[in-house]
Structure 1
Amino acid sequence: MPPRSPQVLAALATAAVPGLEVVAAGPAQDDGADFDAAVVVDAAHRRFTVRAPRRPAAAAALDAELELLSGLHEPLPFAVPRAAGTVVLGEGGRCVVTPELPGSPLHPEDLRPGPGLARSVGTGLAALHQIDVAVFADAGVPVYDAEEYRRRRLSELDRAAATGHVPPRLLTRWEVLMEDVARWRFAATPVHGDLVGEHVRTDGEALTGITGWVDAKVADPADDFAWLAVGADPDALESVLEAYAHARHDPLDPDLLLRARLAGELALTRWLLVGLRTEDEEIVEDARRMLDDLDAHADAVPLGV
């Protein structure tokens, strides 16, 4: 189906939230290829995010996200979205309206080392990873142990390799690490699963909120460090990891950062597969360009060290 415009999403928002008077509507930060998204403003100058799934699999994932967030009562040092209302879509699934979380997006290159924001991010991730696994399992999100997840990663890599768009040197680089079972002996934890700058909110001093929970699962905690491992200043990343290790009840996994770097690189293959699945040539070309760029600079950032 064609993308829904911000105006169409604004109309859906007024149906989802009784009494909502929308006075402005515009595009939201990119929410991937599976959702239409907009930001609307009401007469009281409150801002809301409106999301509608484009396909059945996205609708099911959004339902699981709503279930998870509605049951996420354990104290977290940051805010999570709470639905203000939903409306059933004629083509299936639900359109969801949530008040916009406080703060601004945190782009990893803007993170600075030392106490303050980096410490807050590390402490926040530790709190997320220590949520009771049953909270996530009861919401119906995927649950994997370490070996299941490693095999899932290998299967994703096989699908990416079959496209013919991934440079052979990168495939070898990733396969070597994923076949090293000793690197994958982690304790699975609740994870957000898609942490990027647009999903992480900050007031400049502390982590204030995390949005975009549609890929939440019980899996490798390293996944939630991928965006920092490939984009943050090394000293800032070290500050995050120090705070994380201090706040965790268990010792820090010695291979966490290695798998985080791997997950950050593999995100390019998932983007490629999204483009091919949705037949979006712009996404495919964007993914191919980034894969070629990574291939050209791979020697400067070795894995497995």
Structure 2
Amino acid sequence: MVRSALALAALATTAVPGLDVVATRPPQTANSDYQTTGLLDAGGRHWVIRAPLHPAAGAALEGEVALLANLVKEVDEGRLPFDVPRPVGFAALPEGGRAMAFRALVGRPLVLDRLTPGPGLSAELGRAIAAFHELDPAVVADAGLPVYDADSYRRRCLAEVDEAARTGRVPSSLLNRWEHALEDVALWRFRPTPVHGDLAPEHVLVTDGRISALLSLSEVHVGDPAEDLAWLLAAAPEDSLDAIEEAYSLARTEGADATLMDRALLVSELALARWLLHGVRHDEQPVVEDATAMLRALAEDVADAPGIGAHEPLVVREYDAAWAPDDEADAPHDADEEAEESQAAEAQPAQTEAARSEAARTAASESEAPADGVRPTEAEAPADGVRPTEAEAPAEERQLPDTEVAAGGQHGGAEGGPDRAAVTEELHLGTDLPDFLREDDRHRDR
């Protein structure tokens, strides 16, 4: 149930004995899962109280509390360059669950329009996300939060696409686009990492040009790092993306992930399908209509765009014969031709010096001269004395094959599908459509 700010303030005094609240302060927000209110105490200190609005959110908050105990250690030991909420007290709710009170963290919510090219806040953001992804996955797993390998995450996405398709509200062009990307095995060779799972401007605090804190960690899991870059791909200024991606890549110890941004593009598009499913599951018709309109707009935007992860085939021009020995070593040979060449070589007697001289005199005669009157010099002749036929000559242009795509058929919607009854098994970018998707319709072609 949604409470007034004063009611939440009263809960805060229960959670933190001796807390003397004198006023409410920002943030004061509520979505379908949580209600949050800022408070000011008599000593001038700022607090935040966060209360779940339904049992599933309450269960997720308990998982976050367990995670925060691990993350605080990572911050204090210098492995995270930003702070996280530090719970101080809890207040039981009459309907079940409990609210969490903590000291407000330093910083203001990120303003995406302030992200610029080059070093600065954009690079700081890329490094901060990379630092979270560099955490040991055990930090998340030990808190009892979900862990997905690359294939299980891919299959969950396929199940969501199937469920969205059954609504009849997703354009077929988008379904085909997503299915091709999800069936392209080359895109899904990544190492799972800790993932925030719900990054948005209001969940990233900034102070003095650096990232000072991350908030709302109830969606953390081990999975695809591309999830935490999708929101930036969809809404950040386009000229800031290179700086974010470069700083992120340099801060990752495992090296570059060649398909990271391709998967991030896919995740940003699937966020609209998840928004649609949220409306369908909760019978919220305005949400369904909003998501349907956005999906149609996206289908128009990407109608002429290449597929996700699609790359032009590489064409190698002017193939040099000097490369031939390495390539020909692996080339298939005709067994009959090899046998004939071997027999001919054995039947040919060795030439004596006199025979070679006689052959030279015979070749010099005019009756034996070639039609053009010009004979190749010894330097120009092939080492083996045999010139290739036209059929054996290397092609002037070779085209490399396209990246192999996994063969597949129809993906099963039921197999590997999510168990939506279990809170820790629900993987999404947030139950509410992020503000950057609602306010900014820039699902750009990457």
Mark yes or no: TM-score above 0.5.
Answer: yes
Stretch deviating more after TM superposition (183-192 or 45-54): 45-54
Q: Distance in 2 between matches of 1:31 and 1:191?
A: 23
Cα distance in 2 between the residues matched to 1:227 and 1:138: 27
CA apart distance, 1:196? 0.8
CA-CA distance at 1:145 after TM superposition: 0.4
Alignment of 1:191-270 (within 5 A): 191-203=195-207, 205-270=209-274
SS, match of residue 218 in structure 2 = helix
Where does 1:16-165 land on structure 2 (aligned, <5 Å)? 16-25=15-24, 28=27, 30=29, 32-72=31-71, 73-74=73-74, 75-165=79-169
Contact 1:144 1:219 in 2 (8 A): yes
- Please tell me the residue identity of whatever aligns with 2:44: H
SS at match of 2:226: helix
Decide whether the 8 Å contact of 1:103 with 1:208 is kept in 2: yes
Q: 1:304 is matched by which residue type in structure 2?
A: G
Could you tell me which residue of structure 1 aligns to residue 188 of structure 2?
184
Greater Cα offset, 292-301 or 248-257:
292-301
Which structure has the highest helix share of the two? 1
Q: Whole-Å Cα distance in 2 between the matches of residues 283 and 169 of structure 1?
A: 22
Instruction: Report if the CA contact (8 A) 2:187-2:309 is conserved.
Output: no
SS at match of 1:152: helix
Q: Could you list the runs of 4 or more consecutive aligned residues of structure 1 that deviate by over 4 angstroms after TM superposition?
A: none
Listed as ranges, the gaps of 5+ residues in structure 2 are 311-446
Q: CA 1:244–1:29 in structure 2 vs 1: closer, same or farther (change >3 Å)?
A: farther
Q: 3-state SS of the aligned residue for 1:9?
A: helix
Aligned to 1:293: 297
Q: Which residue of structure 2 lines up, in the alignment, with residue 8 of structure 1?
A: 7
Structure 1, 105-114 or 135-144: larger mean CA deviation: 105-114
Q: Deviations over 1:17-69 (max 9, x none)?
A: 11222222367465541122222222233332222112222111111111001
Task: Give me the whole-angstrom Cα distance separating, in 2, the residues matched to 1:226 and 1:99.
Answer: 30
Structure-2 change in CA distance of 1:134 and 1:11 (3 Å): same
Larger radius of gyration: 2
Deviation at 1:151, TM superposition (A): 0.5
Distance change (3 Å), C-alpha of 1:187 and 1:20: same
The correspondence of residues 166-181 of structure 1 with structure 2, limited to 5 A, is 166-181=170-185
State whether residues 130 and 189 of structure 1, in contact with CA within 8 Å, keep that contact through their aligned partners in structure 2: yes
Change (3 A) 1:27 1:115: closer
When normalised by structure 2's length, the TM-score is 0.64
Distance between the aligned counterparts of 1:182 and 1:211, measured in 2?
33
Q: TM-score, normalised by structure 1?
A: 0.92
- Over the aligned positions, Cα root-mean-square deviation in angstroms equals 2.0
Partners of 1:122 and 1:254 lie apart in 2 by 16
Give the residue type in structure 2 aligned to 1:3.
Answer: V
CA distance in 2, matches of 1:301, 1:17: 55
Preserved CA contact (<8 Å) 1:33 1:274: no
Aligned twin of 2:342? none
- The C-alpha deviation readout for 1:251-284, integer Å capped at 9, x for no partner, is 1111100111111121122222223333334433
Following superposition, the deviation at residue 162 of structure 1 comes to 2.0
Distance 1:6 1:295, change over 3 A: farther
The AA in structure 1 aligned to 2:62 is D
Distance (Å, rounded) in 1 between the aligned partners of 2:29 and 2:265: 23
DSSP 3-state at the match of 1:24:
strand
Assess, with a 3 A threshold, how the Cα gap between structure 1 residues 281 and 204 changes in structure 2: closer, same or farther: farther
Given that 1:117 and 1:204 are in contact with CA atoms closer than 8 Å, whether structure 2 keeps it comes out as no
CA distance in 1: counterparts of 2:59 and 2:270, whole angstroms: 24
Amino acid aligned to 2:5 = P
Question: What is the total number of aligned residue pairs between the two structures?
Answer: 304
Alpha-carbon distance in structure 1 between the residues aligned to 2:13 and 2:249: 44
Q: For residues 289 and 29 of structure 1, do their structure 2 counterparts lie closer, same or farther at Cα, with a shift above 3 Å needed?
A: farther
Give a deviation string over 1:92-113, Cα, whole Å, max 9, x none. 2111112222212114343111
SS in structure 2 of the partner of residue 144 of structure 1:
coil
Instruction: Give 1:292 shift.
Output: 2.9
In structure 2, give the amino acid aligned to 1:210: L
Whether the aligned pair in 2 keeps the contact of 1:29 and 1:198 (CA below 8 Å) is no
**Residue 364 of structure 2 aligns with which residue?**
none
* CA distance 1:268–1:131, change in 2 (3 Å): same
Q: Which range moved further: 213-222 or 107-116?
A: 107-116
